[in-house]
Amino acid sequence: MQMNTKAIPIRDLKPEQIFDMMVTAAQINTLAHKRALPPMPQIMLDQAREAQQGQEKETKMQFAEINAIGVNTADTEIRNQRKYLQDQLYRAKYAHYEPLQRAFGLRDEDAPRSPTELVERIKAGMYTVKPGETDAEGVEKFYDSPMYYFRWRNPETKKDQEGYNAAKKLLEKAYTDAERVIMVGDAKEGLEAVKQYETATFH
């Protein structure tokens, strides 16, 4: 009887087929020693070994892909968390500027929003009056509303540009420190750094 030695494609072999081939090869070789039968053709042994190696390689690749997916997912989550915290920190930074400018007399208060508030502000003296403006011929300009001449601020608050600049440096340093925590720490540490920056005062 002539044995079929045609090569079998590795991709078509299943693990159980590889196992059966290895068992068959071992059985034939055992019988060959006992009965002086011709040994199993080498090509079949090579096919079995090659198929087993291919299956092991494919299994390793599958595990590597699964691990890579897990790592990429974790990296994406960390990037998203850091981006969110950076956005919140940036918003907090610019929310600090307006009260800081007002504290050093560089920004007026908001105008009264009702007649009652208007009267209360005037009674409390919480305003200053702009000097009149004249045109090129020296004639005083007139605006439709006299409210144009009012500046809603505490007249005792003087402009302090130097004090503001010093406070701004503290603001910027605190921002940089918090940003570093966000970039090298975990999400909880980054969130805590943002909260502390939001509630901090710099004057």
Summarised one tens digit per residue, pLDDT across range 106-154 is 999 888 999 999 999 999 999 998 877 777 777 777 777 778 788 899 8
Distance CA 100, CA 73 (A): 41
Q: DSSP letters of 132-161?
A: P-B-TTSPBP--S-GGGGEE-S-TT----H
Compute CA distances 83 → 43, 76, 90, 134, whole Å: 59, 11, 11, 52
Any idea how long the chain is?
203
Domain boundaries, the chain: 11-106+159-199, 108-158
Residue 174 has pLDDT above 90, yes or no: yes
Question: What is the separation, in whole angstroms, between the first and last Cα of the chain?
Answer: 100
pLDDT at 181: 95
Residues 21-56: pLDDT tens digits? 666 666 655 555 555 445 555 555 566 566 666 666
Mean pLDDT of 79-91: 93
pLDDT at 20: 67
pLDDT at 42: 59
User: Higher model confidence: residue 128 or residue 17?
Assistant: 128
- Residue pair 100/168 in contact by the 8 Å Cβ criterion: yes
Whose tokens are 């045109």? That residue is 135
pLDDT > 90 in the chain, percent? 38
Mean pLDDT of the residues in the chain: 78
pLDDT bin (cut points 50, 70, 90) of residue 1 is very low
pLDDT at 69: 54
Residue 63 has pLDDT above 80, yes or no: no
